[in-house]
């Protein structure tokens, strides 16, 4: 079972629903990762479903309100609501509403990376991390995944792909903090 959210109910949602995992990764920016990955469970609790078709078809203002109501799905709950709906629309239109099809019928990591970077809110960095997450935690390892994931494929505590418990979450935090300090020192 995925344990990124550090909350049993939220982690079960992430483990049971591929779209939830995709949304959690979408929300993982400028917000503590465990809170971002709790977002899908909040949507499920408030909206009643994580069905991409229902989310894509939801009245936008009502969906924004649902996502922004405290505790919001993200620090920027209003703007992220729109991104979640845009992501749901792509999953419906291109993958018949089944988010797992993004990675389940892919033969190579370059194809997976192309699919992921085409998603709303997914740039190259996020696609690399999600590819590593799929490989390390769900055993989805398309040909070339280590090269496509770059440093995120390495052993250690580099990203959400390496979070399996509270201890690993803290180690990832420490790694990120050290990287930011290195980058800041390099700019000085």
**β-bridge partners, 108:** 143
Instruction: Render pLDDT for 111-124 as a digit per residue (tens, 0 to 9).
Output: 999 999 999 999 99
Cβ–Cβ < 8 Å for 3, 15: no
Domain for residue 106, yes or no?
yes
Between CA 180 and CA 162 the distance in angstroms is 18
- As for how many domains the chain has, the answer is 1
Q: Quick check: is 71 in a domain? A: yes
57 within a domain of the structure (yes/no)? yes
57/174 Cα distance (integer angstroms): 40
pLDDT of residue 82 exceeding 80, the answer is yes
Is residue 3 a part of any domain in this protein?
A: no
The yes-or-no verdict on residue 188 having pLDDT over 90 is no
> CA 64 from chain center: how many Å?
19
Residues contacting 123, CB < 8 A, separation 6+: 117
pLDDT class of 79 with cuts at 50, 70, 90: very high
Provide the token pair at 2: 């995925």
Distance, CA of 88 to CA of 91 (rounded, Å) = 5
Residues 6+ positions from 96 with CB-CB distance below 8 Å: none
Domain membership flag for residue 2? no
Q: What is the pLDDT of residue 25?
A: 98
Q: What is the pLDDT of residue 184?
A: 87
Query: pLDDT of 5-47, one tens digit each?
Result: 999 999 999 999 999 999 999 999 999 999 999 999 999 999 9
Q: Is 156 left (phi over 0), alpha (psi -120 to 50) or beta?
A: left
Does any domain span residue 173? yes
Mean pLDDT across the chain: 96
Residue 142: give the domain boundaries: 8-187
The domain spanning residue 182 has which CATH number? 1.10.340.30
Is residue 1 situated within a structural domain?
no
**Cα 7 to Cα 37: distance, rounded to the nearest angstrom:** 10
> How does residue 67 score in pLDDT terms, banded at 50, 70 and 90?
very high
Q: How far apart are CA 10 and CA 80, in angstroms?
A: 18
């Amino acid at each position: 079972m995925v344990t990124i959210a550090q909350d049993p109910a939220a982690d079960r949602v992430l483990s049971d629903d591929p779209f939830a995992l995709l949304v959690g990764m979408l929300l993982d920016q400028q917000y503590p990762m465990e809170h971002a990955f709790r977002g899908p469970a909040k949507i499920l609790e408030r909206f009643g479903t994580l069905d991409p078709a229902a989310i894509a078809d939801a009245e936008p203002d009502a969906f924004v309100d649902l996502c922004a109501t405290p505790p919001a799905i993200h620090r920027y709950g209003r703007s992220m609501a729109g991104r979640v709906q845009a992501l749901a629309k792509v999953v419906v239109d291109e993958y018949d509403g089944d988010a797992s099809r993004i990675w389940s019928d892919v033969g190579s990591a370059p194809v997976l990376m192309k699919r992921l970077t085409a998603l709303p809110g997914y740039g190259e960095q996020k696609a690399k991390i999600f590819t590593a997450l799929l490989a390390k935690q769900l055993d989805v390892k398309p040909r070339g995944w280590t090269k496509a994931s770059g440093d995120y494929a390495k052993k250690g505590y580099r990203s959400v792909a390496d979070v399996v418990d509270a201890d690993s979450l803290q180690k990832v935090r420490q790694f990120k903090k050290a990287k930011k300090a290195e980058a800041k020192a390099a700019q000085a």
